[in-house]
Amino acid sequence: MSSEVDYYELLGVERTADDKTIKSAYRRLAMQYHPDKNAGCKDMEGKFKAINEAYDCLKDPQKRAAYDRFGHEAFKNGGNGGGFAGGGGFSDLGDIFETIFGGNGFGGGGRQQTRRGADLRYDMEITLEEAYLGKSTEIRVEVSASCETCDGSGAEPGTGVKSCNQCHGHGKVRAQQGFFIVERTCPSCHGAGQVIEKPCRSCRGEGRVDKEKKLTVNIPAGVDEGTRIRLSGEGEAGARGAPAGDLYIFLHLRRHKIFEREGTTLFCRAPISFTTAALGGTITVPGLDRTEHKIAIPAGIQSGKQLRQRGAGMPILNGRGFGDMVVQIDVETPTSLTPRQRELLEEFRETETGAECPQSTGFFSKIKEMWDDLTD
């Protein structure tokens, strides 16, 4: 294919296309015309080379500006043109590999780093009182810990490691696949670049063994449902001396008998007699701070009214101060009356004028008005 074909036309994009659009078009065409998918087809191979030449030019802001102004003439007579100008081969094979596959290309020849151990999760249930006060507790977890026999190296004491014969210590091997050179993790040393001469008998060369660990967890005051506590380095040990992962403690609050929690606010429902609601009084609510809070009930309070006690709620996590306690009043109607109580209530009903219960009086007045309107 002639290299004089317009680069934008080759990639199927407008001249005003942005970098993202050009890259997307290139990746799609590179996969379509890759020699591995069209083995033996010279036309496809030429198309693939031309596509790479076009992209190599248009991805560079300076080259693209020169091409937009002068076309292919900008790269003749010594000009720095596309990736195949004058050479017929890739200008940067690693860059093309990275563009298509998103990898690291072929720039790194060093040993692959050993991966750290896995993170672990531990779910812990605590009471609301423990969340209020905070606590220190011990837990037991089953983890892969560093082998004490070989000190995590994986090698039998007195022996060592040697460079891998297959990858020569690089941790990676390369293989030709059609038009590309593909780099893979070494199957012999699994990317470590080294092999153990004599594996440890305790851990079989892994450098870690399964064991139970006893850990101390400090729970700060004010934690809530789903609070996460991180214990650095207490997760799974890494293979052959690699750093250990972390252990995450997820906290869950046990349902409380009296209180419900919303942030730093504590809610509870307090039933009171209808006489206390009518005449007023005082009730006592025990707080999580181990003190008794006296709540003043104003005369004439209605069911559902909420009374707030400042500073009697949950502590602010990692801060200063406390939330509030909110007490919702539920007026309870008596279900069992003595003859004397019934007599007194009958006397009260005979003396009612309607002013004692303005809400019910207003409601039934509206009912009467609606009925009169319907019957007119």
User: What pLDDT does residue 287 have?
Assistant: 93
Across the range 32-45, mean pLDDT stands at 77
Residue with tokens 């692959």: 112
pLDDT above 90 as % of the chain? 37
Q: 73-77, 91-95, 322-326: which has the highest mean pLDDT?
A: 322-326
User: What pLDDT does residue 324 have?
Assistant: 96
Tens of pLDDT, residue by residue over 300-349, are 999 999 999 999 999 999 888 999 999 999 999 988 899 999 999 899 88
Tens of pLDDT, residue by residue over 163-185, are 888 888 888 888 766 666 778 88
Tens of pLDDT, residue by residue over 219-267, are 999 999 999 999 999 998 887 778 889 999 999 999 999 999 999 999 9
User: What pLDDT does residue 104 have?
Assistant: 44
219: CB partners within 8 A, 6+ apart: 126, 130, 131, 134, 135, 136, 137, 229, 251
